[in-house]
Chains A and B, each alone.
Chain A
Amino acid sequence: MQSQTQANHWDIFCAVVDNYGDIGVTWRLAKQLAKEYGLAVNLWVDDLASFGHILPKLDPKCASQNFEGVCIKHWDTPLTQEYQPGDVLIEAFACELPPEVLDQITALHRSGNQVPVWLNLEYLSAEDWVEGCHGLPSLQRSGLKKQFYFPGFTPKTGGLICEADLLQRRQAWQDNNERQAFFETLGLSGIQTDHTVISLFSYESDSLEALCRHWQQGDNQIHLLVPIGRSLNSLGAFVDPQGPLTPGSRYSHGKLTIHLLPMTDQQGYDRLLWSSDFNIVRGEDSFLRAQWAAKPFIWHIYPQEEDYHLIKLEAFMAFYCHNLAPEIASAWKKLNIGFNQGAQETLPSLWQQVDNAHSALTQHAQNWPNEALNDADLATRLVQFVKNS
């Protein structure tokens, strides 16, 4: 396998924490940098088995392999593959770089040689403080300079990951009404054009059971499409928790049908989001992809101590809703807060309010991506940031 060892390459280090989030973001970024900027990128990942869930062709036992122009390297401890310093060194989400890497760049610095631009790519947040921290140096005891790079929703932040042609591809998919054909490729049956389709990719939550109970008693036929994962831990009353939860399984309860799907690659997940009427997403990667899907969504945010995640949720919702009709914004915000707080008693009525505003929310969701991007996506801003460093 070809390794990106030439001098002008970038290295991205990713420690997998929850299977899909961190690796999802770094894999997308690496692909985009390679494809759209012609950069040689090494993506170092500590857990190739988890990575394989979203890149099924990946061989978890192979130390170095190339996909989509990116050289994927196994980050083991101690590091058995040689690290050669390139132009840029990114530690994703504040992961601790291997000591072998730090030793090399420290030696370069002490000998007066050029060291890579060293960045800590942080988590996405819509909070005010992000603008004030984006791009700031982080002085190191060794004298090396690291900089914090914060994704964000404003021009003074690092932007949002979005491939150059993504919105056009999504629009074409939705204009051409590819959804029925897509559902057929997934082996899904019984979904008619007037049925409501909801995709579900959340953490465990008591809210799911409350919503399912509401949906099963509703007037409309609802299909809940659930890739195998953590959401199912909260759906024990609706699926067979004793039986094997295998892709292709289907469970019907009144007006609700739950379809289990295999975990998919990133393109497949995008298409699932584009094809659904409503998406329930989590964390960072699927949260952002749901925005690019231009459909209404619930964001199940990663829970933090002292309910700090609710502050992050509020900050995002303020951005998202700033030009949305107040009554619709209020309903959507309450639904998101209620879902994240597990407000089982009020969720049915909150859902109903949002469902009644589905057309307006969809229209808003279609306008949102261009507004959120502020003319430049994360990769574009990142490449420029490195040039200016």
Chain B
Amino acid sequence: MKTAHELRPGNVIMLDGSPWVVQKTETTRSGRNAAIVKMKLKNLLQDSSTETTFKGEDKMEDIILDRLDCTYSYFADPMYVFMDAEYNQYDVEADNLGDAAAYIVDGMEEQCQVTFYEGKAISVELPTTVVREVTYTEPSARGDTSGKVMKPATIAGGATLSVADFVKTGDLIEIDTRTHEFKKRA
């Protein structure tokens, strides 16, 4: 069992007798520190997606499907192609990557986990932390070094996120792929 707060894109959960793959998660905070997790889920039996909301502490039955360690090879619209250690290739639909697609870049070396359902590659789970280059961010406006003042930045692959004010264009940064939050300069 995992809590809703622990789920991330690529996980598969059982709801009402159907397997659902988590495509996207967005965690916010309600009153009294309670987390609320908004998710985009895809029903693997009906091939349909839905948006849903959970309390962060809601317990989910995550199901263990076949998984393989793979690396990203290339993008053949609309499929992302991954390859295992024996050079077998697996196509994953772009939609099924959800938020993870933001961190897929050519030449990336991180090991990803490709998940299979009835022999078909259905999702990809990234490592908890990835390191990406900041391709653009405004220079520090306030000279803040505490890490509390944030500013927007674009990373390799085109995604944007908030980073500490001291981060510069060209820096490598660590990102938490579950929360999409900047962790630190790599």
Q: Which residues of B contact A127 (CB under 8 A)?
A: 28
Say whether A133 contacts B53, CB under 8 Å: yes
Contact B14 A138 (CB under 8 A): no
Binds B, one of A35-43, A301-309, A378-386: A301-309
Q: A141-B14, A141-B16, A141-B61 are in contact. Are A136 and B32 (CB under 8 A)?
A: no
B51-A284 in contact (CB<8A): no
Task: Jot down 11 A-B pairs with beta carbons below 8 A, ordered by A.
Answer: A122-B31, A125-B30, A133-B28, A133-B36, A137-B52, A138-B55, A140-B16, A141-B61, A143-B15, A143-B16, A308-B33
In the bound complex, residues from chain A placing their C-beta under 8 Å from that of B20 are 139
- The one of B15, B36, B60 in contact with A148, judged by C-beta atoms closer than 8 angstroms, is B36
**B48: interface (CB < 8 Å):** no
Q: How far is the CA of A93 from the CA of B38 in the complex (A)?
A: 17
State the CA gap A150–B184 with chains docked (Å).
34
A356 to B178, CA, bound (A): 48
* A-B interface pairs (CB < 8 A), number: 66
Given contacts A139-B15, A139-B16, A139-B41, contact A125 B31 (CB under 8 A): yes
Interface residues of A in 109-134 (CB under 8 A from B): 120, 122-125, 127, 129, 132-133
* Overall SS of chain A's interface: loop
Tell whether, in the assembled complex, residue B16 and residue A137 are in contact, meaning their CB atoms are under 8 Å apart: no
**B36 close to A139 (CB less than 8 A):** no
- A94, CB-defined interface residue at 8 Å: yes
Main SS class of interface, B: strand
Interface string of A212-247 (1 = CB under 8 A from B): 000000000000000000000000000000000000
Please, what's the 1-or-0 string for A123-166, where 1 marks a CB less than 8 Å from any CB in chain B?
11101010011001111111100001000000000000000000
Q: Please, how many residues of chain B have a CB less than 8 angstroms from a CB on the other chain?
A: 25
How close is A128's CB to chain B, nearest CB, in angstroms?
Answer: 10
Question: Interface extent on A, as a size class?
Answer: 20 to 34
Q: Could you give, for residues 48-90 of chain B, a 1 whenever the CB lies within 8 Å of some chain A CB and a 0 otherwise?
A: 0011111100101100000000000000000000000000000
Other 9 A-B pairs with CB < 8 A, given A93-B32, A138-B54: A123-B32, A129-B26, A133-B36, A137-B53, A138-B53, A139-B15, A140-B16, A143-B15, A308-B33
The answer to the question of B17 belonging to the interface, with a C-beta cut-off of 8 Å to chain A, is: yes
- Check: B2 CB closer than 8 A to any chain A CB: no
* In the assembled complex, A62 has its CB within 8 A of some CB on chain B: no
In the assembly, what is the distance between CA of A287 and CA of B150, in Å?
29
Nearest residue (CB) in A for B59 is A141
Given contacts A143-B16, A148-B36, contact A304 B29 (CB under 8 A): yes
Residue from A120, A122, A138 in contact with B52 in the complex, judged by beta carbons closer than 8 Å: A138
Partner of B51, one of A94, A136, A143, A305: A136
A-B pairs with the 5 shortest C-beta distances?
Answer: A123-B31, A143-B16, A136-B53, A148-B53, A139-B15
Chain B, residue nearest A120 (CB): B55
Bound complex: CA A367 to CA B41 (Å): 43
Assembly CA distance A308 to B148 (angstroms): 12
Is A17 engaged at the interface, CB distance under 8 Å to the other chain?
Answer: yes
- For residue B186, CB closer than 8 A to chain A, the reply is no
Q: How far does the Cβ of A328 sit from chain B's closest Cβ, in whole Å?
A: 25
- Are A302 and B32 in touch, CB under 8 angstroms? yes
**Is the pair B38, A132 in contact by a Cβ cutoff of 8 Å?**
yes
B32 adjacent to A122 (CB under 8 Å): no
Q: Is the CB of A139 within 8 A of B52?
A: yes
Residues facing B in A261-318 (CB within 8 A) are 284, 302, 304-305, 308
The distance from the CB of B98 to the nearest CB of chain A, in whole angstroms, is 16
Shortest CB–CB separation between residue A203 and chain B, in angstroms? 12
How many Å from the CB of A277 to the closest CB on chain B? 29
Q: Which residues on the A side are within 8 Å of B159 (C-beta)?
A: none
Instruction: Kindly identify, within residues 87 to 102 of chain A, every residue whose CB is under 8 Å from any CB belonging to chain B.
Output: 93-94
B108 within 8 A of A: no
Chain A residue at minimum C-beta to C-beta distance from B32? A302
| Chain A hits for B15, CB < 8 A | 139-141, 143
- A208 CA to B54 CA, complexed, in Å: 38
**Across-interface contacts of A136 in B (CB, < 8 A):** 38, 51-53
Contact flags B142-159 to A (C-beta < 8 A → 1, else 0): 000000000000000000
- How far apart sit A124 and B31, CA to CA, in the bound complex (Å)? 8
Q: Which of chain A's residues have a CB closer than 8 A to the CB of B50?
A: 137, 139
Bound complex: CA A142 to CA B17 (Å): 8
Contact of B31 (CB < 8 Å), options: A129, A142, A143, A302: A302
